[in-house]
Amino acid sequence: MKAGRRLDARGWLDGARRVPSPNCDARPAGEAVILIVIHNISLPPGEFGGPGVAELFTNRLDPAAHPYYTAIKDLRVSAHFFIRRDGELIQFVPCGMRAWHAGASSWGGRERCNDFSVGIELEGTDATPFADAQYAALNELLGVLRAAYPGVELAGHSDIAPGRKTDPGPRFDWGRLDSPPTAADR
């Protein structure tokens, strides 16, 4: 990403590749974004660079393309952003809408984190270190989001769904973020 990027009135990031997902809906009336949730994903599991994530988020996943896809073919999920290993940033849902990324979750005593969060998926696994290009793109994106949503907190999927989710996993280095979350954030 380049300096000076910003979100438009709907929450689309200028310069990000847009691949609109149908797996979103309106945020509850008056609901503000107060949380950013970091995830990891790879499809097929442990494989990088293919079309699987975009196909999952746009309901075009071919269950015959990989045995794992049969088990997830009916999922209706998305995230606002996806950062590939090379730092490419893809946006599926505008930040003004609710993406379906968090599932059963809670933060600060509130349930349904999708209502008040932005979801960022990093192409990766719990067991694989993330790429330098991903941290660079993530830091730039976080800067834009923090400017748009002052005071926004930062958490991992494992923080909002403990016992159910483990991502972004132990190989994600929170210290590489320009403004890592504090203990209060996580």
- Which residues, in sequence order, are bridge partners of residue 99? 24
| 111 catalytic per annotation | no
Of the residues 121, 123, 140, 153, which is catalytic?
Answer: 121
For residue 76, give the DSSP letter. Answer: -
Alpha-carbon distance of 156 to 32, in angstroms, equals: 19
* pTM: predicted TM-score of the whole model, two decimal places: 0.95
Instruction: List residues bridging with 117 in a β-sheet.
Output: 35
What percent of the chain lies above the pLDDT cut of 70? 96
The dotted CATH code for 17-50+77-176 is 3.40.80.10
Q: How far apart are the first and last CA of the chain?
A: 26
- Domain assignments of the chain as residue spans, ordered by start: 17-50+77-176
3-59 pLDDT, tens digit per residue, is 578 999 999 999 999 999 999 999 999 999 999 999 999 999 999 999 999 999 999
- Backbone phi, then psi, for 57, in 5-degree steps? -70, -15
- What is d(CA 20, CA 82) in angstroms, rounded to the nearest whole number? 12
